[in-house]
Amino acid sequence: MKVSANAPCPCHSGEKYKKCCQPYHKGIYPANAQKLMRSRYSAFALGLAEYIMSTTHPNNPDYTDAREAWRESILDFSKQTRFIDLKIIEFIDGDSEAFVTFEAILDHGILKEKSRFLKPENKWLYESGFFS
């Protein structure tokens, strides 16, 4: 899915895509885990599988060296899901570990997760999530 740079950001921040998640999707590293989480939500909504893969920590259970199969799995999920809203419940920032609790409202239900992010080599990565 493509979105205009002037359209509302898919992460539902209220900002235009070009001022919110687009810079991250184009290669700027998010300054904190909450921005990474929002940009990953947008990436799923837009079918940006490469971004999802590049921002996933190797400890994550979904991480695999079978890149093409992983990419197709992400794209299938993105195509079959409507991303309706995103609500940040809690953000616990840290220097090398952070947590974001959020609710993703999808067409097939609400996903509530507490995500753990790690920052190896000065780049935030999604490490794991716990559903609640």
Whether residue 1 is contained in a domain is answered as no
**Where residue 91 sits, what CATH number does that domain have?**
3.10.450.50
Which residues 6+ apart lie within 8 Å of 65 measured at CB?
none
pLDDT of residue 6: 95
Total tally of structural domains belonging to the chain: 1
How far, in Å, CA of 41 to CA of 125, rounded?
13
pLDDT of residue 132: 75
Whether residue 46 is contained in a domain is answered as yes
Whether residue 112 is contained in a domain is answered as yes
| Residue 76 structural domain | 17-131
What predicted TM-score, i.e. pTM, was given to this entire model?
0.95
Whether 89 has a pLDDT exceeding 90, the answer reads: yes
Whether residue 2 is contained in a domain is answered as no
In the block, residue with structure tokens 């184009």: 26
CB 4 within 8 A of CB 10: no
Whole-angstrom distance between the N-terminal and C-terminal Cα of the chain?
Answer: 29
How far, in Å, CA of 53 to CA of 50, rounded?
5
Whether residue 111 is contained in a domain is answered as yes
pLDDT digits (tens, 9 = 90+) for 93-127: 999 999 999 999 999 999 999 999 999 999 999 99
pLDDT digits (tens, 9 = 90+) for 36-80: 999 999 999 999 999 999 999 999 999 999 999 999 999 999 999
